A = this chain, B = another copy of it.
């Protein structure tokens, strides 16, 4: 199951070349990810990811240029991999069949009190397992 996030563009997302700047795509992913980890995960389990989480890695491929328009873009979010102390989410920034970018992020849950990374909880794993990509099947717990 993919989570579908609708992301409003801003005119200022464009750079001097008149396209949405490549860095701004990562902002769009951040918005989608924050909704996924802060709102959706906490609806599923009240204390999921409450200590915060850290971005450990991004990969992003740019496929088509995007120009500012009123209509939001759609960001599909799903879970690629569930590790002991990390999760990898995949994204597609799209508009119908048009895919502007594909990306993935490695997220590490964080223990604020001890100021260090921590393992995923059982509730967090249960939440993440629901969002495996349909095509690829459920994310394989490691």
Which residues of chain A have a CB within 8 Å of any CB of chain B? Answer: 8, 10-12, 14-18, 21-23, 26-27, 30-31, 34-35, 39, 52, 54-62, 65, 68, 70
Contact B14 A23 (CB under 8 A): no
Q: Which of B22, B27, B55, B65 contacts A62 (CB 8 A)?
A: B55
Contact A30 B34 (CB under 8 A): no
Closest to A26 in B: B23
Given contacts A23-B23, A57-B61, whether A52 and B17 have CB atoms under 8 Å apart is: yes
Chain B residues with CB below 8 A from A17, complex form: 52
In the assembly, what is the distance between CA of A15 and CA of B14, in Å?
6
Contact A27 B55 (CB under 8 A): no
Interface of A, helix, strand, loop or mixed by DSSP: mixed
The smallest beta-carbon distance between A37 and chain B, in angstroms, is 11
Contact A22 B52 (CB under 8 A): no
Chain B residues with CB below 8 A from A18, complex form: 16
Other A-B pairs beyond A16-B68, A23-B23, A56-B61, 16, CB < 8 Å:
A8-B8, A10-B31, A11-B16, A11-B30, A11-B31, A12-B21, A12-B23, A22-B30, A22-B55, A23-B27, A23-B30, A35-B70, A39-B70, A57-B61, A58-B58, A58-B59
Contact B70 A62 (CB under 8 A): no
